[in-house]
Amino acid sequence: MSKPSNFLKLLDDFINNYLPFSVGLSLNTVTSYKYAFRLLIEFMFAKKGIPADKIIFAHLDYNTLLEFFNWIEKDRGCSIATKNQRLSAILSFSAYAQNRDLLAASIFRTSVLKIPMKKGHGKPRAVFTTQEISILLRLPNEHSEIGIRNKVLLSLMYASGARAQEICNLTVVDIEFLSKGTRLKLNGKGGKARRIGIPDNCGKILQKYITHRRIANKPDRHVFSSQTHEKMTISCIEGIFNKYVTQAKNENPVLFKESSYPPHSMRHATGSHMLEAGVPIVVIKNFLGHKSIQSTQIYAELTQNTIEKHLKEWNDKWFSHNSGELKATEPYDKKIPDFLSIK
């Protein structure tokens, strides 16, 4: 490969320095960005005859980019969600490039901004992935009272699959700290109550929090209070979710792709992750307090979407569609810059 263009130089620094160190993205997220640009470089060579080291920002005008996104959707079979993910990665790079080479990258940036995110069919249920859950639970500042409260609240909502109102209603007397684990009495819809066990690690931080608040001997006290009320409200929980989801989106632009995540998203995540872990659907039904198995069945559908997503990523990686234009040339991977290699 000959001397790289300014496009490649900036892309190299964006992938290897800016994303992992300045932004602090995880290895998996950086890898997702790499896939987007591997596809763009493959498209430019296969459809435009331009190798990676000859790509300049002027090549990436609106029509070319529109053709690229149509190509990954129709020819490569990318789902709408995957297409939007690739667009997010390129959009992020366009802002980075424009800040470092305004004259060269301005057309590229303007062109990317004109391409809209594509809406799927129907409104999908917002469900956190296990990676997104891990990110959310690390965000609260444990050096402040509110941060401690929020960390325990988010952890308990995921561990229990409880509705927001059930968390608001939870009092000290509703919790049993036993030698065999922690049990909660959750007061749900229509005044119906159910008892569930939660994981030991969550039980321990919940017990420490109650001790920290000095309410262990006050059975009628609510476990979670707001700054103004002894009993937290649903709107307060919604505000907590909005705060951390917004922060998580800013810090992880490739993740958290839904437009909004209400508190119920945590409940959906609990049910979906339990099913993925092999927990029988009847057990999940009782754990979540559903009236019928049909209500629990939605998690089977959500899990199938997750399965299809992983299969699609696997197919994209190992069984990419070979263009006839590439058959007479050297294997395409040799034309991908080393810094975009997937290890």
Calculate Rg over the CA atoms of the chain.
24
Strand pairing partners for 222? 171
pLDDT, one tens digit per residue, over 170-186 is 999 999 999 888 999 99
pLDDT at 305 over 70: no
Residue of 299, 264, 301 whose CA lies nearest to 284: 299
Dist CA 245 CA 123 (whole Å): 19
φ, ψ at 17 (rounded to 5°): -120, -55
pLDDT at 282 over 70: yes
Domain 130-296 fold: hpI Integrase; Chain A (1.10.443)
pLDDT at 152 over 70: yes
Task: Report which of residues 29 and 110 the model is more confident about.
Answer: 110
User: Quick one: pLDDT at residue 302?
Assistant: 59
Number of residues in the chain: 343
Q: CB atoms < 10 A from the CB of 284, how many? A: 20
Task: Give this prediction's pTM.
Answer: 0.55
Dist CA 304 CA 308 (whole Å): 6
Give catalytic residues, as residue numbers: 163, 189, 264, 267, 290, 299
Spans of all domains in the chain? 6-121+324-338, 130-296
107-146 burial, b at 16+ Cβ within 10 Å, e below that, comes to: bbbebbeeeeeeeeeeeebbbbbeebbebbeebbeeeeee
User: Quick one: pLDDT at residue 197?
Assistant: 92
